[in-house]
Structure 1
Amino acid sequence: MDRLAGADPEVVPARPTAPALLPRAVRAWLGPVSVLAALVVVVLGVGYAGHSRPGRVDRWIVRPTADSVQGPWRHVALALDFLGEPGGSALVIVAGVAGCLLLRRPRAAVLVMAGAALTVGATTLLKHVVGRTIHGPGNLSYPSGHTAFFTALALMAAFLATDRLGLGRAAGTSLVLGSALVAGATMGWAEVGLGAHYPTDALGGWCTALAVLPATAWLVDLAADRTSARRPSARRPSARRPDTAQREPR
């Protein structure tokens, strides 16, 4: 049979998609944890709405004052507090984005910006909705934005570490939740010790990050995957002879 000269265009294999922000090892556990955290935020918010004094749980843990932390530990608490202030948080976000780009993880860089913005935005909105105050009117306290921000940073770092180290479900989940717990407890201690928040404010901030950050990572993954899927497949044409329209002789 006669056949046209020249080969079909060669399809260039598509480049592999970027690693997901939410490692498979921790997805099964993060969903229920996020839902439970969101429920805790709502329950505490309803329970302390409009309050201006520490609740029973707060008094049981510690009654915050402006001088709860003294000596060299106060400098540590003040340094941690600075990281949650606008200037300090901006420096942390810039450093995080730069580090992700150096590691060639653009998705992670997007998560650092979006995750920080949505987590802090959620705490700011909740403060105005709940209306709990400390040390007089106008000082909205629930939930703690500092604690939420620091916990969100720890979650982002734990996601990247879990993926790069190839951790399994048990190890990955332990790393993610353990990092969030340590970060939340550390910043919560600083905020309560400086008298800026009640202990339940810190708990609410910690739970806010656990509810917002995994959902943000999932949305960034979803948007990036859909964008990659819409890109046309690259094709590289093969070399053809000028007389492609002519038939070869029998």
Structure 2
Amino acid sequence: MSGRPAPVVLPPSLRAWLGPIAALAALVVVVLGVLYGDDRKPGTVDAWVGAAVDGAGPSWRHVALAMDFLGEPAGSATLVVAAVTGCLLLRRPRAAVFAVAGTGLTVGTATLIKSLVGRTIHGDNLSYPSGHTAFLTALSLVVALLVTGRLGLGRAAGTLLVCAAALVAGGAMGWAQVALGAHYPTDVLGGWCTALAVTSATAWLVDRTADWLVDRMADAGRWERR
């Protein structure tokens, strides 16, 4: 038995690009964490961006609240279940595992970084990085990588799709968090970069683990036939 149970979740055409992107994103997370550690107020960039976003009318506030719900436990769980169901219907069990692991590890990492950095907003609410932004960006990356692999997109088209998905999802949720006053803009950037770093690493890890299991099963089958 030499085949794989499902196609890889990290398309070979994107590995050369996503590795450096993930490393750069991780560096940004660390730098911002050092700059704003134990901070209780917005920085210069935060104040400038926040002023530009502030003043959204009631209708836009409803949109922001709807976006925010997607990052809450009920909303995020619904999105992950939908993604897993879609993967299973497409007979992509490895992608289903990736959907759970990618989003779960991203949110877990963001939560851990919050406690380490200690930046707060509105009192003692830990704010860096934005978990809502990290979650939706991670989920968009999972879907984009699945589409890239299923359509067999090349390096340029695949990278464009993945980056566009991350920018749209992260930008939309980031805007909502800043508009609602739940996070500083740099918190949003930190959450977005956390998702880029962790999701890419998780995709590689899922593929390596699945391939290792397949190899062990194949070895076991050969021993049984002897």
User: How much has 1:15 moved relative to structure 2?
Assistant: 4.3
**Structure 1 unmatched runs, 5+:** 1-12, 238-250
Partner of 2:96: 109
Pick one of 132, 144, 160 that aligns with 2:119. 132
- Find the residue that maps to 1:21 and give its secondary structure: coil
- Which 5+ residue runs of structure 2 have no aligned equivalent? none
Give the match for residue 53 of structure 1: 41
Match of 2:160 among 165, 174, 180: 174
Offset at 1:60? 2.0
Find the aligned partners of 2:29 and 2:2 in 1 and give their Cα distance.
43
For 1:39, the equivalent position in structure 2 comes to 27
Question: Bigger radius of gyration, 1 or 2?
Answer: 1
Q: Please list, as runs of the form range in 1=range in 2, the aligned pairs for 1:1-250 lying within 5 A after superposition.
A: 14-63=2-51, 68-136=55-123, 138-232=124-218
Answer yes or no: is the 8 Å Cα contact 2:2–2:215 preserved in 1: no
SS of structure 2 residue aligned to 1:33 = helix
- What is the aligned residue count? 223
Native 8 Å contact 2:4 2:211 kept in 1: no
Could you say what secondary structure the match of 1:36 adopts? helix
State the alpha-carbon separation in 1 of the partners of residues 218 and 205 from structure 2: 22
TM-score, structure 2 length as denominator? 0.93
Cα displacement (A) at 1:205: 0.2
Deviation readout 1:21-64 (Å, 9 max, x if unpaired): 00111110000000000000000000000111100111122249
Q: Greater helix percent: which structure? A: 2
Amino acid of the structure 1 residue aligned with 2:213: T
Shift in Å at residue 117 of structure 1? Answer: 1.1
Contact 1:126 1:143 in 2 (8 A): yes
Q: Determine helix, strand or coil for the equivalent of 1:231.
A: helix
Q: Aligned Cα RMSD in Å? A: 1.9
Answer whether contact 1:54 1:63 (CA < 8 A) is retained.
Answer: no
C-alpha separation in 2, matches of 1:17 and 1:92: 24
CA distance in 2: counterparts of 1:200 and 1:84, whole angstroms: 18
Among the aligned pairs, what percent are the same residue? 65
Structure 1 residue 69: Cα displacement: 2.8
